[in-house]
Amino acid sequence: MNNVLFAMIVMVVFIGCKTEDVLPPTGGGENQKESVAEKLFPLHVGDSWVFTTTENQVGIMNLDVRRVETINNTKYFVVEQSSNIYRYAIIPRYYRTEGDKVYQYDEEKKKERIMIDFGSDEPTDDHYRYYVSARGEIITVPAGIFTITSTMAPAVMYDGASTDDYAENIGLVQTSFFRGRYMLHHATINGKFIGKK
């Protein structure tokens, strides 16, 4: 008798539950999908990227996400660019991502501009950078082997212009210019270490 009663209670419980009550909810929180810009230009406080020009150099260019600041009711990640060569030249920049775009707050002009539009092949406001799909090109840098998801390249090459290669969930992997290239040596992204120690 006890077994029959137990079986009936179990059946009532399973029949009474709706599927949406059992399955995890979709959207929002941890289940929310990252945008294109978040994948290609990850920003978390504590993230850092170290670039070199050769296999053994360290710290030729460093990018560090230091903190979040609110400017005009908009939150930006403060990213400091520095170098072991120019030890006292620390340049803070203010970035945020939304959809396919990376925005930068320009302190001098006191306004925000689109720095990168990963979803467009049209020139941005500065009229020389545009989006190029890298179509899965594989490159090797000191940090490892990466599949490049997108490349930002100048429409017109000039001295000082760079071509920047991005990989999903890594960000900038390599920047190339007339006289050489900066290659990712190691990075810490959202608590995960990538590359050489």
Rounded CA gap, 197 and 46, in Å? 17
> What tokens were used for 107?
């302190």
pLDDT for 188: 97
Rounded CA gap, 113 and 126, in Å? 10
pLDDT for 96: 97
Assess if residue 26 is contained within a domain.
Answer: no
Residue 34: pLDDT band (50, 70, 90) is: confident
Torsion from C-alpha of 101, 106, 112, 113, nearest 10 degrees? -50
Assess if residue 30 is contained within a domain.
Answer: no
Assess if residue 76 is contained within a domain.
Answer: yes
Residue 85, pLDDT > 70, answer yes
pLDDT for 132: 76
**Could you count the other beta carbons within 10 Å of the beta carbon of residue 108?**
5
Assess if residue 6 is contained within a domain.
Answer: no
What rounded mean pLDDT belongs to the chain? 79
Residue 95, pLDDT > 80, answer yes
Assess if residue 7 is contained within a domain.
Answer: no
Residue 167, pLDDT > 50, answer yes
Assess if residue 16 is contained within a domain.
Answer: no
The listed range with the strongest mean pLDDT (43-47, 121-125, 148-152, 161-165) is: 43-47
Q: Tell the residue number behind the tokens 């707050």, with chain if given.
A: 105
Compute the average pLDDT of residues 46-61. 84
Higher local confidence (pLDDT), 25 or 163: 163
- Report the number of distinct structural domains present in the chain: 1
Burial of 78 per CB tally in 10 Å (0-12, 13-18, 19+): middle
Assess if residue 28 is contained within a domain.
Answer: no
Compute the average pLDDT of residues 46-55. 90
pLDDT for 126: 61
Range of the domain at 65: 36-192
The DSSP call for residue 31 is: G
pLDDT for 48: 97
Assess if residue 17 is contained within a domain.
Answer: no
**Would you say the pTM of this structure is higher than 0.85?**
no
Residue 22: pLDDT band (50, 70, 90) is: very low
**Could you count the other beta carbons within 10 Å of the beta carbon of residue 149?**
21
Torsion from C-alpha of 171, 176, 177, 178, nearest 10 degrees? 180
Give yes or no for a contact between 146 and 173, defined as CB atoms under 8 angstroms apart: yes
